[in-house]
Amino acid sequence: MKRVLLILSVFLSCQLFAIEQMPELKWSLSYSSEKELSVEDPIAAIVPGAVQLDIARAKSYPSYMFSDNYKQYSWMEDLFYTYTTRFKKPVLSSSERLYFVSKGIDYQFEIYLNGEKLFYQEGMFTYVDLDLTDRLQTDNCLQILVYPVPKKQKTPIDRSQAAHVVKPAVSYGWDWHPRLVPLGIWDETYLEKREESHVDDLFVKYILSDNYDKADIELSVEGKALDNCSFAWTLKNAAGKKVLHKQGKLSDPSLLKEIVLENPELWWSHDHGMPYLYTSVFELKNKKGHTIQTVTQKIGFRRVRLVMNEGAWDEPEDFPKGRSVPPAQLELNGRKIFAKGTNWVNPEIFPGIITRERYRELIDLAVDANFNMFRVWGGGIVNKESFFELCDEKGILVWEEFPLSCNQYPDTPSYLSVLKQEATSIVKRLRKHPCIAMWCGGNELFNSWSLMTDQSLPLRLLNSVCLEYDPLTPYNPTSPLYGMAHGCYIFKYFDGREVFEAMNNAHQTAYTEFGMPGISPVEVLKQIIPEDQMFPPKPNTAWQDHHAFGAWTADTWLCSNILKEYFGEASSLEELIAQSQLMQCEGYKAIYEEARRQKPYCSMALNWCYNEPWPAAVNNSLVVYPSIPKPAFYAVSNACRPFCTSARLSKFVWNEDEEFFAEIWLLNDKYEKITPGKMHIKLQAGNDVVEILSWDAPAVEENTNLAGPTARFKLPRWDTDRFKLLIEIDGAPQYNSEYTLLYKPKPKPKKKGTATLNLNS
């Protein structure tokens, strides 16, 4: 059964000929509290989609994004759903078969044809691929019975209800995601005519030589009734020119291996070269030599490894002596790369409605942000094919997690068996994409809120599955590992340290999550918060439903106490938003740039998080739903320029008469030597600009940072509550940087009352 389920992976990144897709199916949806095929009161269903969206459409529900409307959907969790479609038996030649294909049904389901149960599956990531031919009638009724939302227990009503299933835990509720658990058909689903002889899966496997001057290629072909078939395979370069050709009997295995591509163009992340893609065209031919199927897919040649971070072998020093930290340094085609990127989350609450276009907008923005890596966080889905196709094309590396997050997934045979099925499907599908830079078991599994350990069988199993199907791509059981770190997610930590102090004293190989909340733009707020609740933001209003209050811990994500401490009470929504967004900008810059300064020991900076599945009122995201950059997006984009100036700051608030100081750095992630020229370090308060240091910066070696002088200046009396540090380079403004800091004048001499420390006073 497994093989049948897995065979469609080839169709994902390919065009098909001679396999005929049938007219689109029309679906209806019914539901029942019992486990039965229900046909009563059918409503129209859009496939792919979700049962909730169909019901909302049929019953004219208000948008789940506004206020607390999402709560109206909760009754939909516990029902059985029947999708029904009817179709006439098509004309089939003696060698043709009719298949029902679905790339994703969420989550546990049965499939019936004309009332007969043909199939059962638990798992939304393993494609359904059912040969219906022998059971077809003139008029056919195909039905899919979808089980209710799986819940490990009735209460608590939270992510732990998903601790026994391979279903994204995020939809059970998260500190930036409402409780809304999708069900139903969530990816392309159709009938398809195929020749009896057909290829189910084609994997163009390769090994690059040590010096990248050749690729040893092997074609791994899975399919049905291939015994008497022959093939013709062509590899074309990006210009469409044939560079390799092989043909012959499929039964001769020697023809499929030891195929050598000399001097392959390598696939690079966009910041280090071109994400070069070849095209593989595989034609299947029948006994008569007629082409009966063509499988076309993109191939990128690259080698990814996780190697030790520089300096990490020197630790630990003392006896009793432990181990050195695990490697977190990504190496692409032999080049050590600083991974600047972000944590990707589901771009929709209902994955069924994610389009290639949505992926494209977000991935294009990531390139603009100078990001070269997405960590696809394990709380969410494994994305649709178009996501990976676009990452291949745009040159973004993908750290791909399996759908395990913040739960104690069990060692039970039933869970392990579904996990093995799903992981095998996922790895066999995604290993074809050059963008896949590493596999990871899931999110924060080795922390006290998850309680999994290195001994947990699910993670040992995932290691084993990845080793079997994609041994040359790194595998990590979770993030963070030893030497890596997550957090914090606020500007001022619970122990009173500011982000500057905490980061400057941290010593990690990889910062794989860190956040900084910022309020969404006012136009977005207007779409989600009733006008009478808009200002000031209060708990237990739509602000809270959209994560401003009671989200993670303490005062998140609005962090009104922190904002008040730095800025005093805001007098308008616009002022509050500006305060919050400034903190988000400066906080994120502090982390990204300090992580970069800690290169080469440090090799990754991935913020939490990139995008969001619905418009949050406040979130750590850089891009508001659906794809609106926040000001912090541009700040981060600057902080991630391959070459840029940077200041190492020690704190946010500076006082009159205090000696301001900042270490001046040049950050170079490029593999070229750069001589930036004369630098001017200035402070600007209002219209006053003072140059506090000028420096003839020397050449900066490739992939190397350079610590320059510390600029110092005794702060005068200014009539302002903030000032800017400007770093400018003569003739190269593209390298300039600036930082906004707060300024506190000395209290005026006491008259009668007490001087106020309120900066807005």
313 binds its own copies (CB under 8 A): yes
Among 33, 209, 447, 760, binds its own copies (CB under 8 A): 447
Preceding peptide of 559 cis, ω within 30°? no
Supply φ then ψ for residue 170, to 5 degrees. -60, -35
Name residues whose C-beta falls within 8 Å of residue 680's C-beta, 6 or more positions apart in sequence. 691, 693, 694, 726, 727, 728, 729, 730
Write the DSSP symbol of residue 163: T
- Please give the Cα distance from 39 to 317 (Å, whole number): 70
Sequential DSSP letters for 376-421: E-TTSPPPPHHHHHHHHHHT-EEEEEPS-BSS-----HHHHHHHHH
Among 18, 22, 226, 308, binds its own copies (CB under 8 A): 308
Asked if 180 and 52 count as a contact pair (C-beta separation under 8 A), the reply is yes
508 binds its own copies (CB under 8 A): yes
474 binds its own copies (CB under 8 A): yes
502 binds its own copies (CB under 8 A): yes
Among 246, 460, 651, 724, binds its own copies (CB under 8 A): 460
Q: Tell me the one-letter amino acid at 639.
A: A
Phi-psi domain of 231 (left: phi exceeds 0; alpha: psi -120 through 50; beta: other): beta
Q: Which of residues 513-572 bind its own copies (CB under 8 A)?
A: 514
- Please give the Cα distance from 595 to 741 (Å, whole number): 20
456 CB burial (10 A radius; 0-12, 13-18, 19+)? buried
154 binds its own copies (CB under 8 A): no
258 binds its own copies (CB under 8 A): no
Among 118, 457, 693, 732, binds its own copies (CB under 8 A): 457
- Please give the Cα distance from 376 to 430 (Å, whole number): 13
483 binds its own copies (CB under 8 A): yes
205 binds its own copies (CB under 8 A): no
139 CB burial (10 A radius; 0-12, 13-18, 19+)? exposed
Q: Which is nearer to its own copies, 178 or 515 (CB)?
A: 515
Find the part of the chain contacting its own copies (CB under 8 A) among 337-345, 357-365, 449-457, 525-533: 449-457
463 binds its own copies (CB under 8 A): yes
482 binds its own copies (CB under 8 A): yes
Min CB(377)–its own copies separation in Å: 16
Total residues contacting its own copies by CB under 8 A comes to 51
179 binds its own copies (CB under 8 A): no
Using CA atoms, how far residue 409 sits from 165, 475, 570, in Å, is 8, 18, 44
Among 49, 327, 518, 537, binds its own copies (CB under 8 A): 327
- Please give the Cα distance from 270 to 370 (Å, whole number): 9
476 binds its own copies (CB under 8 A): yes
Using CA atoms, how far residue 619 sits from 51, 248, 543, in Å, is 28, 57, 11
Min CB(150)–its own copies separation in Å: 23
Token digits for 223?
């399919």
Among 62, 90, 248, 322, binds its own copies (CB under 8 A): 322
Among 168, 326, 395, 708, binds its own copies (CB under 8 A): 326
43 binds its own copies (CB under 8 A): no
Find the part of the chain contacting its own copies (CB under 8 A) among 363-371, 499-507, 533-541, 728-736: 499-507
Supply φ then ψ for residue 416, to 5 degrees. -60, -35
Q: Which is nearer to its own copies, 464 or 740 (CB)?
A: 464
Token digits for 150?
């799986």
Among 134, 495, 696, 719, binds its own copies (CB under 8 A): 495
Q: Which is nearer to its own copies, 163 or 577 (CB)?
A: 163
Among 426, 440, 461, 616, binds its own copies (CB under 8 A): 461
> Binding residues for its own copies, per CB under 8 A?
305-308, 313-314, 318-324, 326-327, 446-448, 451, 453-455, 457, 460-461, 463-464, 467-468, 471, 474-476, 478, 480-488, 493, 495, 502-503, 506, 508, 511, 514
